[in-house]
Amino acid sequence: MAWTDADARKVLREMFDAAIASAEAGRAVQYNLPSKPVGRCIVVGAGKASAAMAAGLEAAWPDVDMSGVVVTRYGHGAPTKRIKVLEASHPVPDENSLNAASAILEAVQNLTPDDLVIALISGGGSSLLVQPANGLTLEDKQTINEELLKSGAAINEINCVRAALSNIKGGKLALAAAPARIETLVISDVPGDTPSEVASGPTIPVPDLNARARAVIERYDIPLPPAAKSLIDGSGQTQLANTGKVRLIASPRQAIAAAQSVAHSYGLATLSLGDALEGESRELGKILAGVAASIRSSGAPVAAPCVVLSGGETTVTIAGTAPGKGGRNTEFLLSLAIALKGTANVWAIAGDTDGIDGVEDAAGAIVAPDTLQRARLQDLSADAFLKRHDSYSFFKPLNDLVITGPTLTNVNDFRAILIA
């Protein structure tokens, strides 16, 4: 078929929507239920999908004595009857993050071996669930968090430091819930799908946590207040005899597979680069532009028409002046568009599956062969917008932003490049 701009945009959006649908939180929980408890069921959780996960659990177990508390990002709530839903700030914690952690720790007190604690964990939980380790304040955690976010550190590195400086992360929530049976249901948003890295693993301890956190601090030269430095330099380690069962119920890999099915239904070959790509967003844009150019010129490593798919979480390192608006996905796309230089018959979409790229109202955006041409007609300099990390402001007047609203799930970023 001869691909039009409308055709390409339609298929790219269908792939993105299919990736999100594959991680629908309530359904994922209902497909992965543990055995029912003899006693009570206490539900706790943190993350952008936690409210939708809680609603799914309530619907599946109407006959179980159930209560509990989960915390999600502002605007990501879902209706529940027995499980209390709190909301807090992301990506930098606020006072409600502290309140949520206190409420969740209180919910798991005085339990028995007959009771069941179900932890509903998804991406974003690290900033939503905050209980600073002894000697630290919320302001300390906010400052450290902001330094980590702009340092270029990968998400697993950031979460390692968060866990080391917390009284609830890194397995400490599970310790507080003993001797109850613990089951953790995880929707992964991290490269490699390591459960302890999702929301900094409240129910999953990490070996050598302090040493790992110390290495991250040194690698990115993160300034620490004295109390935090003392904690990181210490040798203490949370040890748990039994963390219970951990179930990965949705992942970036499933999202890519769902998008592949859509592509194949349109007769498109697919090349998956995996779900764990990391690095600077703008550098990945250049690299994947090279992959697209190779396919266009030589048909290698896959012949057009095709789609190149990838997941994973890139980073945007902020240095110098204050940045503009945007997130890692729109920054990737702006860099990709610049590197493609208007190459014919190449379109791309990238977005965060939670519906929010950075802190703006867009999940991501779409790049087309005429993106730079349309930008020039509006006196928009792509290079200037990229330099000041203002990718959202570049794509908005072009009407190329992808707006979904909160999706109530989160399986990391999704990228697709269609080469016709």
**pLDDT tens, residue by residue, 132-146:** 998 899 999 999 989
Q: Which residues contact 265 (CB under 8 A, 6 or more apart)?
A: none
What's the topology of domain 5-21+253-419?
glycerate kinase, domain 1 (3.40.1480)
pLDDT over 90 (residue 2): no
pLDDT over 60 (residue 340): yes
In this structure, are residues 41 and 114 in contact, taking their beta carbons and an 8 Å threshold? no
pLDDT tens-digit series, residues 365-381: 999 999 999 999 999 99
pLDDT over 70 (residue 235): no
Identify the residue with better confidence: 242 or 26.
Answer: 26
- Rounded to an integer, what distance in angstroms lies between the CA atom of residue 32 and that of residue 248? 9
pLDDT over 70 (residue 207): yes
The model's pTM is 0.91
Query: Crossing angle for the helix pair 138-151 and 155-164, nearest 10 degrees?
Result: 160
The pLDDT score that the predictor gives to residue 377 is: 98
Local confidence band at 258 (pLDDT 50, 70, 90 cut-offs)? very high
* Domain at 25-250: CATH code: 3.40.50.10180
Q: Which residues contact 235 (CB under 8 A, 6 or more apart)?
A: 210
pLDDT over 70 (residue 1): no
pLDDT tens-digit series, residues 51-91: 999 999 999 999 999 999 999 999 999 999 999 999 999 98
What value does the mean pLDDT of the chain take?
Answer: 94
pLDDT over 80 (residue 165): yes
pLDDT over 60 (residue 237): no
The pLDDT score that the predictor gives to residue 71 is: 98
Local confidence band at 234 (pLDDT 50, 70, 90 cut-offs)? confident
pLDDT over 50 (residue 241): no
Torsion of the alpha carbons at 60, 198, 247 and 178, rounded to the nearest 10: -80
Alpha carbon separation from 405 to 7, 182, 196, 395, 401 (Å, rounded): 23, 33, 28, 17, 12
pLDDT tens-digit series, residues 378-408: 999 999 999 999 999 999 999 999 999 999 9
Give the residue from 346, 352, 354 showing the smallest Cα distance to 288: 346
Dihedral-angle region of residue 191 (phi above 0 means left; psi in -120 to 50 means alpha; beta otherwise): beta
Q: Which two tokens stand for residue 235?
A: 């040798």
pLDDT over 80 (residue 242): no
The pLDDT score that the predictor gives to residue 319 is: 79
Q: What are the sequence ranges of the domains in the chain?
A: 5-21+253-419, 25-250
The pLDDT score that the predictor gives to residue 206 is: 84
Give the residue from 144, 209, 147 showing the smallest Cα distance to 172: 209
pLDDT tens-digit series, residues 310-336: 999 999 998 777 789 999 999 999 999
Q: Which two tokens stand for residue 298?
A: 């030589």
For range 166-194, the mean pLDDT: 94
